Structure formats: C-alpha cells, structure tokens
A and B are shown apart, each in its own frame.
Chain A
Amino acid sequence: MKFTSYISIAYLAIFLPAVILLYTILPKKVRPFVLLAASFTFFWFISEWLICYILISIVSIYLIALWLNKLKDKRNALVKEAENKEQKKAIKKKSGRNQLLVLLLGVLINIGILAVIKYSPFFFVNVNLFLKLIHSSARVSVPAFAAPIGLSFYSLQAVSYIHDVYKEKIKADKNIGRVALFMSFFPVIMEGPICRYADTAEKLWSGERLHYRNVTFGAQRIAFGILKKIVIADRLNIIVTTIFKDHEAFNYDGGLILLGAILYTIELYTEFSGTIDVVIGSGEMFGVTIPENFRQPFFAKSISEFWQRWHITLGTWFRDYIFYPVTMSKPMKKMTKNCRKKLGRDYGPLPASIIAFFCVWLCNGLWHGAGWEYIFFGMYHFALISLGSLILPLSNKLLAKLHIDRHKLPYKIFTILRTALLVCIGEMIFNSRGLHDALGMLKTLFTRFTFKSIFDGSVLSLGLDGHDIIILCVTLAIVLTVGILKERGKDPRELIASTPIFVRWPIYMLLVVYTVVFGAYGAGYIPIDPIYANF
C-alpha cells in the first residue's frame, strides 16, 4: 500500500478505520502501542528503509533530553551544596554552558540530517555555478539523497522538544515510546501541523477509549476537508496548471497572471487547510487535540497578521526558536539599547527586529524548498514586514491627518484586500518554476496588465466551464460562511450538532452527496499531489 495523500481511499477507507478498530478492541495499556505501530507502518508504506532517519532523530532527542535532565539534576544538587552566591553563580554558568553544548549537539544531529538531505544538492549546484562564473574548470559532484516523508516537519518537532527541555518548559521523557509517538503520529507526519511535546505527547500515550462525540466530530471535520480539497482545489488545479505552465508560450497578459495568482492561492489554501482538516479530524477521533494550523487567514489586515493565521505552527516555531533567541541574544539586546538612545522609542527596537526577521524569513523561504525562488519568496515577505514596521509611525500620522479611522469598516476592508493581493503575489512567486520564471511573471503583471482575456471569454478556454465556475462560487461561499462564523467565535459543528436530528442529518447527508457529485475527480481530472508533503 502506498499513500500519497490523506485524502485517498487507502487512508480514509482502509488504514484509518483499521487503526480505529484495533484501537477500540484492544485494552487500554496496548492502545498507545497500536498508534505507534500504525505510525511506523504508515511511515514504512511511504518511505520504507528511510524510516531509519526518523529512528535516529527519535533516539537522539530521547538521549539528549535525558542528558540535559541529568546535567540539570547535577546542577541543582551542586547549587544546594554551594556555600555562597558566587559559587552558585559559577556552578550555574558552567552547567549552563554544558547544557547549551548538549542542546547544540542535538540540534546539529537533527538539523544536520535535514540540511544534508534537503539542502546539500542545492548548495553544490550553486558552488558549480559560482565556479563557472569565475571561469574555473573545476566542478564538484552534486549528491542526491532520497528524503523520508515529513522530514521538514518532524525535524522541527525534534528541535522544539530538546529546546523545551533545555528551557525547562517540560521534563525529559523517560518513556522512549511516548517520544517516538510524539515524533511520528501518523496523521501529522506528512504535512504537519508541527506539534509541541507539551500539547500532544501525554494525550497520545494515554490510550483513552474512543468517545462518540470525538469520533463523529472528527468525521465531520474530515468530510469538510475532503470537500475543500476535491471540490475546490482539484477543480482549480486544471486552470492554475494551464496558466502557470504555459504563460510564456501563450503570452498571457497581466490580468490572466493575476487571476492565476489568486486562483493558485485559493487552491493552495483549500488543499493545505483541507488536508489539515483531515489530519486534525483524525487526531480528534482518538481524543487528541492537534494544534490548529489556520485561522481564517484571508481576514488578516497585514502580512504579519496573515502569518499568524496561515500555517500557524510553522510561524510559532520560527517565533519561539529563531525570532526570540535572536532578539534576546546579548549582542542584539545591546544593540537595541544603543539604538533606543539614538533613534528614539519608535525606531530603536527596529534594527534588532529586522535582523531577526531576516533570519526568520530566510529560514522560512528555505524551509519551503531548496531553490532561489523560495529564498525570493522569503525575502518578499521579509521586505513587506520590515517595510510595514518602518512606515507604521508614518502611516499613523498620515491617517490621523486625513481623518481616517483604522477601526472603521471601509479601512478594514481596504487592508484585508491589500493584504490578500500581496499574499497572492507571494504565492505566485512560490508556485513559479524558478527565479527567472517568477521575475518574468512579476514583470508581466506590472507591464502588461489588462482585463482583456478575462472579459473576452478566453479565460473559459483554460479548462473550466460555466458549470465549474458555478460550483466553485457556491463551494467558496460555503467555506467563506464557515470562516465568518468561526471569526465571530462560533463553531459551525457545534451549531449543527445542537439542531434536532431531522435537521442535522440532512445537512450531513447533503455534504456527502455534494462532495460525491460535484467533486473534481475521475477520468480527465488530475488531482493535485499534496503540496506540503514534499517539504
């Protein structure tokens, strides 16, 4: 059995039900092992022997965390015995240094594997390009590695675990099974969300019995995820592929490129958030609360707010393990202090933040892929966010002068649309076939912008007919309504569940029928591969 997506018959109709069945019939003590065995089996189905990589990661963080714990216990014992403050300080300093070295060893192992597998080919290709540039005839051979599934996701989980132990947010786990399940839980292994040990590990290992409410709510969430993926994302895939693949050959104008960018952003959102719905729904069935990865991102009023609502667990990971450590480092603190004196309170903290943002966005770009277009994608967001911080005091003054209230609806709508447009351009870079292609599309967008091909009907020749467009609009309206309800603090599933059976059953049944009939699947449709599974 080879899984390519959570939204597949193999996963939804065979694997998941089989795990649920085993989990139900076996006693509580065995249940965590059922999940662990299922997770390793799932991994094996996809990556076979590459499972060794995740096993190395699991063993390494398990041992590193225990080592850190030992150092901390030793430090505490020595501090207790110390006679004066000076001694205590010296013990703490020495232990702190040792702990940091152990932590760095753990980071080196886990990020090292990630770097070698994912980035070394890119690095050596660029070394060769450089050698060519300086007219050297020397070339290095470019290595090629097969990557295990979910490498970019579980490596970050591994770092978060040892870092949290180092920071004493959590205790090192003595149970390697629990660490292994936290790292490899099958619903999150392919596309995240990036979980934290404190949030999921205990619950995963508890072996709690299945509850009717969890199972049905999980199933509903899965059904909604499937709807988003196969009715919207797979349908949009036809037109998006056409526009992105052939824009140069067919000389598409800026209007069509913009349409492609918008539709790709919707496709990416419905594909990724739809899959995450299936992931979270699967976890919910076992009573595990997997962290949310999306919070109505298109209601964001700025790029930085967008990233707090889109792929949330990646954003918070970068915040906690890159942004904070950089801004809180000694040299940065010193710099901020100096800058405050020279630049004032408004601009003083900015240089340190901008340096930290640069690190975050460089890593964010590279995390998405080893290619210059991804670095460009990261730098695009870095530029937007930095620019936003720089002009904020100015724009505040300007708005006050023009008597525009930031909190009034028209301004809010303006900022939401502005943010969405900037996001779409970013995703266009993301989906391009390379830096050259991305720059070409940007150029067309700004130099040859017309709505001609959208209004003269040629857009209908790109793979979607009128029927498709109606279904897209209706389904997007459903997704938007769900988003608005959630934005207002209401849970649509709770709302439906509170209605009588003769109301809620037809609603659920309609969801099933709608997806079966209007799904973009079968002969002639080419479903998108999970976009985030390749990262």
Chain B
Amino acid sequence: MQKKMNPTLKKWLLGIAFVMAAVAMVVLLSVFFNEKTPDTDALKDVKPYGLLAEPDDTIDVLIFGDSEAFSTFSPVQMWEEYGFSSYVVSSASQYISLTDSFVKQSLAHQKPKVVFLETNAMFRKMTADKPLESTLERIFPVFQYHNLWKNFDPANVNENEDDYFWNNALKGFKYISIVNPSKKKDYMKATGKRKPLPASNESYVESIINTCKKHGVEPVFVSAPSTVNWNYAKHNTVTDLAKKYGVKYIDLNLENAIGLDWSKDTCDRGDHVNYFGATKTTAYFGNYIKNNFELADRRNDPAYSEWNTLHEKYAEVTAGSKSKI
C-alpha cells in the first residue's frame, strides 16, 4: 500500500507551488511587457522611453535627469538653432539609480558625443528600495514596462519592427506654458558651505561616469535654473565632484547672460522654468554645447531629414503660448 503524504507537508508544498506559479506568471508577463513591446504612447512617462524609438547611433547629445531636465532643455530648438540632434531622457522625481539604468540602456543604442547629467537628482534621497527596484526591473521587465497595458495589443507582440516605441516629437522636452512667478531672486548667494550628497548617491554618479567613459562618451554635469531646488551649497558640492572625477560642469543658475526673469519664466514659483524660461535657457545652453564640443551641423544631412520636419509639430504644440508672451 502506498504511504499517504503528511497533510501539513502537502499544504506547505502546495503553498510553495503557488509562489513558484506566481513567479512564473511574472516571467510570462515580462514576455508581453518589455523593451520590445510595440507602441508606448500610453506609457505613463513616455519621455525617457521615447529614445528607444530613435534609430541607433543618431543622437549627438543626451541629457539625463529629473523634471528639471525635461522642462528646461528643448532638443527641437537646439536642432533649429545649432543643427545637432539631442534627446532628454528624464522623468519626474527621478532617482539617481534610475538615471544610472537609463544611461546604461541609452548608451547601448546611441553613441553620442556628450552626455549631460542634470544635477538635481543627485541630491534626491534614496530608500533601500531604489537599487532593489532597478534590479527587479532588470530581471523582470514587466515591473518597468507594465504601464504599456494602456495601449496593449497582443497581436503586435514580438513583431520585428524598429518603431517599437512612440516617437516623441519633442524629443523628451515637456512644454509648460503656465506662468506662476517666483519671489525668490537671490537664491545663489555665494557661500563656502557644502550640501552633502545623500549616502550611496555618489556611487551611482560614479557608475554613470564610468558607463560614459566605457562607451567613449564625455560626461558633463549641468544644473538647470531653479530658485527652489538649487543653491550655492549644492553648486559647491557638484563643483567638488566634477573636480574629483575630472568632469566639466556648467551651472546655469550662475549664467546671468541667459536673462531669466523669474516673474515670468517659471511655471511653479521657481521650481521649474516654463516654456519661456526654457527657450532662453536652451538658446544659451545650445550655444555652450556648440562652442565646447565638436558637433557637426546636420541640418543638410539627408539622413536627418525627419528632424527638419519637427518644427511643424513643435510650432503646433507651443502655439498657445504665443498669445501669452
């Protein structure tokens, strides 16, 4: 006679089987939701992923960071004025660990001349979860791409096409026309103080620099103008960091030539610049890039003909602001 299994043991084994089935389900979901899943207009924050829709090795300048990056730098304007291609890979309240992941992912597809790292995210305090989240996202892509459900079409899964991702016409820039003035104007008072980086953040900055160097790309720090988020103590910390790693650093908060008017050029009392502030900052920043890095003018390059059509969409999106100026 066959011996019956202990009922308690059987229960525990069933429980373990369920956990394994749940993990298998997450693996299965990752087949449907991953980097190659078509169309991501529906992604909650399409901006950073939109770069994946760009043909490989076509972007000259990449800018990484949090909301400061996508509200300040306009790649279409830089193309129009200076003729190089750029993309802003950023998302709101981005943690530096996520920036690190985005840099790795982006440089696997693009070979830019220069990578700018907006510095605000360096000071965002991380929880123990952030590196764990990045690891989980790498193992199970569904945790990163689950928001694709919003436009999910099973018929397209794993089709071998190039345009998996929604091609972001503003190239990662976010157009904000709201005017909400800032009263704080003397936020960059010189001081010898330093604002320390939160623990473990520097290791991610180092990792980003190393990734760039490994790919033969020059990393540069840039601080976007913000009366709320930026001050001289942070400037000093980043200056030290730049020296330590031998990286160039431009703090746009100190570049008075930009001509920002905080009573008009911000959408949220100085937290971010609005479209008007972005236009001024981008003009200045584009000129800085042009003068400091050898970038070809591609406006007559037939391979970049699509970039010459971007201004139409850009004009359409920003049309509303003309009446406000």
Chain A residues within 8 Å of B, Cβ to Cβ: 1-4, 8-10, 13-14, 212, 215-216, 246, 249-250, 465, 467, 501, 505, 508-509, 512-513, 516-526
Question: Given the complex of chains A and B, what is the CA–CA distance between A520 and B93 in angstroms?
Answer: 14
- 13 A-B residue contacts at CB 8 Å? A1-B128, A2-B128, A10-B129, A13-B132, A212-B11, A508-B18, A509-B21, A509-B25, A513-B29, A522-B143, A522-B146, A523-B45, A526-B93
Could you tell me the distance between the alpha carbons of A519 and B33 in the complex, rounded to whole angstroms? 14
- Count chain B residues whose beta carbon lies closer than 8 angstroms to a beta carbon of A: 41
A345 to B93 CA separation, bound complex (whole angstroms): 60
Residue of chain A at shortest CB distance from B137: A522
Bound-state CA distance A215–B19 (Å) is: 13
In chain B, positions 133-152 with a C-beta closer than 8 Å to chain A are 133, 136-137, 142-144, 146-147, 149-150
In this assembly, does B191 line the interface, its C-beta being within 8 Å of a C-beta of chain A?
no
A residues near B137, Cβ cutoff 8 Å: 522
Q: State A249–B127 Cα separation when bound (angstroms).
A: 32
Give CA–CA (A384, B143) in the complex, Å: 45
Cβ of A514 to closest chain B Cβ, rounded Å: 10
Using known A-B contacts A9-B132, A509-B21, A512-B22, determine if residue A524 contacts B180 with beta carbons closer than 8 Å: no
Of A246, A467, A523, A526, most B-chain CB atoms within 10 Å: A523
| Bitwise interface map of B from 1 to 42 toward A, beta carbon under 8 Å scored 1, else 0 | 000000010011011001001100110010001000000001
Given A4-B127, A250-B178, A467-B150, output 9 extra A-B contacts at Cβ < 8 Å: A3-B128, A10-B132, A13-B132, A212-B15, A508-B22, A509-B22, A513-B25, A516-B146, A524-B92
Cβ-based interface call for B98 (8 A):
yes
* Residue B225 CB within 8 A of the other chain: no
- Residues on the A chain within 8 Å of B92, using CB: 524, 526
The chain A residue with its CB closest to the CB of B9 is A212
List of B residues within 8 angstroms of A512 by Cβ? 22, 25-26
- Considering residues A212, A508, A509, which has the most beta carbons from chain B within 10 angstroms of its beta carbon? A212
Contact check: which of A249, A465, A523 meets B91 at CB < 8 Å? A523
- What's the Cα separation between A1 and B128 when bound, in Å? 5
Q: Which of B25, B129, B180 contacts A9 (CB 8 A)?
A: B129
A505 touches B18 (CB 8 A): yes
- Residue among B8, B15, B45, B146 making CB contact with A216, cutoff 8 Å: B15
Q: B143 to chain A: closest CB distance in Å?
A: 7
Contacts of B25 in A (CB 8 A): 509, 512-513
Determine whether the beta carbon of B44 is less than 8 Å from that of A524.
yes
**How far does the alpha carbon of A520 sit from the alpha carbon of B129 in the complex, in Å?**
16
CB-nearest residue of chain A to B14 = A501
Whether B94 is near chain A, meaning CB under 8 Å from some CB there, is yes
CA distance A212 to B16 in the complex (A): 11
Q: What is the minimal beta-carbon distance from A256 to any residue of chain B, in angstroms?
A: 16
Given the contacts A215-B15, A216-B15, A516-B26, A522 and B144 also touching, CB distance less than 8 Å: yes
CB-based nearest A residue for B7: A212
Are B129 and A517 in contact (CB-based, < 8 A)?
no
Residues of the B chain whose Cβ atoms lie less than 8 Å from the Cβ of A513:
25, 29
Which chain B positions have C-beta within 8 A of A13?
Answer: 132
Whether a CB of chain A sits under 8 angstroms from the CB of B48 is: yes
CB-based contact A516/B142 at 8 Å? yes
Which residue of A is nearest B180, CB measured?
Answer: A249
Nearest-Cβ distance from residue B277 to partner chain A, whole angstroms: 16
A235's closest neighbor in chain B, by CB?
B44
Query: Residues of B contacting A249 with CB < 8 Å?
Result: 180, 268-269
With a CB–CB cut-off of 8 A, which chain A residues contact B180? Answer: 246, 249
From B12, B22, B143, contact of A212 by CB (8 A): B12
Least Cβ–Cβ distance between B101 and chain A, in angstroms: 9
List residues of chain B with CB within 8 A of the CB of A523.
44-45, 48-49, 91, 94, 98, 144
**Across the interface, do A8 and B128 meet the contact criterion of CB distance under 8 Å?**
yes
Q: Determine whether the beta carbon of B129 is less than 8 Å from that of A8.
A: yes
Closest CB-CB distance, B182 to chain A, in whole Å?
12
Distance from B30 Cβ to chain A, minimum over Cβ atoms (Å):
10
> Shortest Cβ distance from A469 into chain B, in angstroms?
12
Centre residue among B42, B48, B132 by max chain A CB count within 10 A: B132
The reply to whether B127 and A524 contact each other, CB–CB distance below 8 Å, is no
What's the least CB distance linking A161 to chain B, in Å? 32
Task: List chain A residues, Cβ under 8 A from B150.
Answer: 465, 467
Q: In the assembly, what is the distance between CA of A249 and CA of B132, in Å?
A: 38
Whole-angstrom CA separation of A522 from B149 in the bound complex: 14
Instruction: Give the shortest distance, in Å, between B284 (CB) and chain A (any CB).
Output: 27
By Cβ-Cβ distance, the 8 closest A-B pairs, closest first, are A524-B45, A10-B128, A523-B91, A524-B44, A9-B132, A467-B150, A1-B128, A212-B11
Q: How far is the CA of A512 from the CA of B11 in the complex (A)?
A: 20
**Option from A9, A14, A518, A524 in Cβ contact (under 8 Å) with B133:** A9
On chain A, the residues within 8 Å of B98 by CB distance are 523
- CB-CB under 8 A from A212, the residues of chain B are 8, 11-12, 15
Are B42 and A467 in touch, CB under 8 angstroms?
A: yes
Give Cα A215 to B178, complex, Å: 52
Docked complex Cα distance between A513 and B91 (Å): 25
A523–B148 alpha-carbon span in the complex (Å): 12
Residues in B with CB closer than 8 Å to A465 are 150
B269 contacts across to A, CB distance below 8 A: 249
Contact partner, B44, options A8, A509, A525, Cβ 8 Å:
A525
- Give the residues in chain B near A2, CB-CB below 8 Å: 127-128
Return chain A residues, CB-CB under 8 Å to B268.
246, 249
* Min C-beta distance of A149 to chain B, whole Å: 14
**Contact at A518–B15, with CB atoms within 8 Å?**
no
**How far does the alpha carbon of A210 sit from the alpha carbon of B136 in the complex, in Å?**
28
> What is the bound-complex CA distance between A508 and B15, given in angstroms?
12
Complex contacts, B11 vs chain A, CB 8 Å: 212
How distant is A230 from chain B, measured CB to nearest CB, in Å? 11
Chain A residues closer than 8 Å to B129, beta-carbon distance:
4, 8-10
- Smallest CB gap from B23: residue in A: A512
CA distance A2 to B125 in the complex (A): 11
Smallest distance from the beta carbon of B144 to chain A beta carbons, Å? Answer: 6
Among A1, A3, A465, A517, the one with the most B-chain Cβ atoms within 10 Å of its Cβ is A517
Q: Tell whether, in the assembled complex, residue B29 and residue A9 are in contact, meaning their CB atoms are under 8 Å apart.
A: no
CA of A398 to CA of B44, assembled, Å: 53
Q: Are A516 and B29 in contact (CB under 8 A)?
A: yes
Residues in chain A near residue B143, CB distance under 8 A: 516, 521-522
Q: Mark B91-107, 1 if CB is under 8 A from A, else 0.
A: 11110001000000000
Nearest B residue to A13, CB-CB = B132
Separation of A9 and B136 alpha carbons in the complex (Å)? 9
Q: Are B29 and A10 in contact (CB under 8 A)?
A: no
Query: Which residues of B lie under 8 Å from residue A216 when comparing CB positions?
Result: 15
Nearest chain A CB to B296 CB, angstrom units:
32
The interface bits of chain B over 37-68 (1 if a CB of A lies within 8 angstroms of the residue's CB, else 0) are: 00000111100110000000000000000000
Contact call A517/B132, Cβ cutoff below 8 A: no
A470 to chain B, nearest CB (A): 10
CA distance A513 to B24 in the complex (A): 11
Cα-based distance from A13 to B133 in the complex (angstroms):
11
Contact A517 B128 (CB under 8 A): no
Smallest Cβ-Cβ distance to B44: which chain A residue? A524
Instruction: Provide the bound-state CA to CA distance between A19 and B190, in Å.
Output: 50
Q: How far is the CA of A181 from the CA of B144 in the complex (A)?
A: 39
* A-contact bits for B176-188, CB 8 A (1 contact / 0 none): 0010100000000
Assuming the A-B contacts A9-B132, A212-B15, are A517 and B149 also in contact, with contact meaning beta carbons closer than 8 angstroms in the complex?
Answer: yes
Which B residue's beta carbon lies closest to that of A14?
B132
CB contacts (< 8 Å) of B144 on chain A: these are 522-523
Interface-central residue, B129, B136, B146, by most chain A CB under 10 Å: B129
